[in-house]
Amino acid sequence: MYLKRDQTNMSKLWIGVQQNRFVDDAGRHVILRGLNVGGDTKVPYPDGGTHHPSDFADHRTVSFVGRPFPLDEADTHFGRIAGWGFNVMRLLVNWEAVEHAGPGLYDRDFIEHIGQLCERAQAFGLSIFIDFHQDVWSRMSGGSGAPGWVFEKLGMDFRKFDAAGAAHVMQHRYDYSSPVLRQEDRYPMMSWALNYLMPVNGIVWTAFFAGATLTPQWLIDGRNVQDYLQQHYFGAVRAMAERVRDLPNVLGFDSLNEPGQGWIGQRLSGSPQEESTFGPPALRQAPAWTPLDGLKVARGLSVSLPVVTGTTPDGKAVRTQLPVNPGRVSIWLPGVADPFEQAGAWKLEDGQAVALDEDFFCRGPQGPLRLDRDCMAPFFNGVARTIREVRPDWLLFAEINPHSIIRGGTFPAGMPAATVNASHWYDIVLLWSKRFDAAMTDAQRKELKERYRFQLGYLRSLGQRLNGGAPTLIGEFGIPYDVNDGASFRRWAQGERGADVWEAQSQALALTYEVLDELLLSSTQWNYTASNRNDLRIGDGWNQEDLSVYSDDQRSAEHGRDGGRAVEGFCRPYVRCTQGVLSLMRYDAAAGSYTLEFAADPAIDAPTEVFVPAGLGAVSVESSVAVEWQHDAGAQRLSIRAAQTGPLKVTLCFGGDAAVQSRGQS
């Protein structure tokens, strides 16, 4: 039972859930379509981007006030986002931004900054759910998320991570004095993701989710490590929740972005990282770490890891060995004993590692240790309890680890009520290869679309099984704008301004949105970065990623896009809310038409609303039964009101005679 608080000052949320659908306060079926805002929120403001060198010595005094953009710029950005038709934002914050100064020391200026941004978003009709974001735990371990002082509490020295080979951090690997923008030999693109396999992430995620079970003697300030970490995380979430509790456009909170799994469920030394036929070569050919390898490196021992470097003509793997930590650097602070060694997993004997318990990371309180039942279910309920003690009607946007999904993982039993399946999806081949052929054949495009449909359909099925049926909102998807070796950037720099500069990106996005439409899925695209640069060194300001729909490098009126990149791919018609239950929506850009079908319910005293981009021109309406409709070109909205119960099919045609009336019956 969640603690209920007085809601006298609370306005009713704009959006709620009804089994597998979002519904608004009028009872209409709602499609949420939006953006992650923004990619540079992972780093301090204004000069915290990974294109700036740093040793993280200032981690207690940094500030994130100004992310995702300063308050005096908010209306411009929100107006642009709403003008493209989006109605929701997954608003990024992180644990470090809230609690960087030390345990329990919350940055009230940052919390207030985010609160005021949420208030301003209301004026633009933008709903928000707040995402406490992380990637591979922390900036100090190559990603974003947790404050630096957490490592100190764990007894780890983040200054030693690079020397030990325990994490892959751009600020340590990249040569900032070199004119070479992409340094694949030093810091390969997307290599941050490999940190999940390395010792630092193995230790911290195992402690975060299973410390009470595996290392009950590991105490921080008198509490078990798992309880200590989770309670501080929940405390930061609660501090933010208290500020935005009265805002009706704040729908709830994300549980935690793409949580890691550590070594949970792995044998100590007998099961190195499985080679996978799924995904890009960069993942399939990653060094094969075992938990014991990770513990040895953390302790200051050197190891040699098997690496698949390719395949022979007959398909056999070509392997080599990668030496790690030849300098024998320990990442534990002086006087700190390895908690896993203390718990009996292994020991160091005469300078050699000896495995004592191969099943150490596999043994749970109820038999085999299960990530879903024993780790994720209590965590999801802990997040829900935290936010609903502040506001009982908030939605929980829940995520499980994407790699777990690939291996067949699902949401655990016993999920909190009013949970949304907020799983993530990317075209992994495109994301890692950064290649997209805009001139592909129709057959190739059909094959690619079928793959997208299968994968996104599978994610939707996770929601259909969650609590007997829950809405699915694809919390992240997107495309790299630096595809094809940054060809679009070069064309832009040379003065080209037409839509064809971004043709490859537009096609890739349009293909994804076609499938989202077919599956009636809500979504928040990754991402909108206010500081983005069309620059291979900078991009979104974080580890050379570049997936922003906006770039400040091209913010000008001369080309009519006001900073937008590949606008044609994502600014497209869709049904925002339906006077009944939506069953089909389809946009045919080539034919200039949009079709929707739904079960009309005149008892709902609000019309169906379709976003119609201004650039499509005049609109005409054809309907299977009589409806009243009105097109407000300024608001980019077409409203349809049905008076008859039952199935209804409506087709919108664009680009006709400008003299076509904006109000009528069909």
DSSP assignment, residue 313? T
Return all residues near 349 (Cβ < 8 A) that are at least 6 apart.
none
Longest dimension (CA), the chain: 89
* 466 pLDDT above the threshold of 90: yes
Q: Where are the domains of the chain?
A: 15-138+245-261+370-570, 281-361, 576-665
Q: What is the mean pLDDT of residues 102-129?
A: 98
Residue 407 confidence (pLDDT) = 86
| Under 8 Å between Cβ of 279 and 42 | no
Residue 4 binned pLDDT confidence (cut-offs 50, 70, 90) = very low
CATH superfamily of 15-138+245-261+370-570: Glycosidases (3.20.20.80)
Residue 365 binned pLDDT confidence (cut-offs 50, 70, 90) = confident
pLDDT, one tens digit per residue, over 196-234 is 999 999 999 999 999 999 999 999 999 999 999 999 999
CATH code of the domain made up of 576-665: 2.60.40.1180
| Under 8 Å between Cβ of 260 and 201 | yes
Residue with tokens 């793997």: 317
Residue 313 confidence (pLDDT) = 83
| Under 8 Å between Cβ of 472 and 462 | yes
Residue 8 binned pLDDT confidence (cut-offs 50, 70, 90) = very low
Residue 555 binned pLDDT confidence (cut-offs 50, 70, 90) = low
Give the lowest-confidence range in 282-291, 331-340, 524-533: 282-291
Pairing of strands 627-632, 663-665: antiparallel
Residue 278 binned pLDDT confidence (cut-offs 50, 70, 90) = very low
pLDDT, one tens digit per residue, over 399-437 is 999 988 988 899 999 999 999 999 999 999 999 899 999
pLDDT, one tens digit per residue, over 525-546 is 999 999 999 999 999 999 999 9
* 19 pLDDT above the threshold of 60: yes
Residue 414 confidence (pLDDT) = 95
Average pLDDT over the chain reads 93
Residue 474 confidence (pLDDT) = 98
* 280 pLDDT above the threshold of 70: no
When computed from its CA atoms, the radius of gyration of the chain, rounded to whole angstroms, is 25
pLDDT, one tens digit per residue, over 104-114 is 999 999 999 99
Return all residues near 118 (Cβ < 8 A) that are at least 6 apart.
91, 128, 244, 247, 249, 250
Token pair for residue 429?
């081949």
Q: In degrees, to the nearest 5, what angle opens at C-alpha 260 toward C-alphas 526 and 235?
A: 85
Q: What is the mean pLDDT of residues 616-641?
A: 95
Query: At 119, phi and psi to the nearest 5?
Result: -65, -45
pLDDT, one tens digit per residue, over 151-170 is 999 999 999 999 999 999 99
Residue 308 confidence (pLDDT) = 83
Residue 664 binned pLDDT confidence (cut-offs 50, 70, 90) = low
Give the lowest-confidence range in 77-91, 204-218, 455-469, 491-505: 491-505
* 6 pLDDT above the threshold of 80: no
| 3-state secondary structure (DSSP) of residue 461 | helix
pLDDT, one tens digit per residue, over 259-276 is 999 999 999 997 554 444
Residue 570 binned pLDDT confidence (cut-offs 50, 70, 90) = very high
* Residues above pLDDT 90, as percent of the chain: 86
Give, for 15, the enclosing helix (H) or strand (E): strand 15-18
| Under 8 Å between Cβ of 567 and 503 | no
Closest CA to 27 of 625, 581, 414: 581
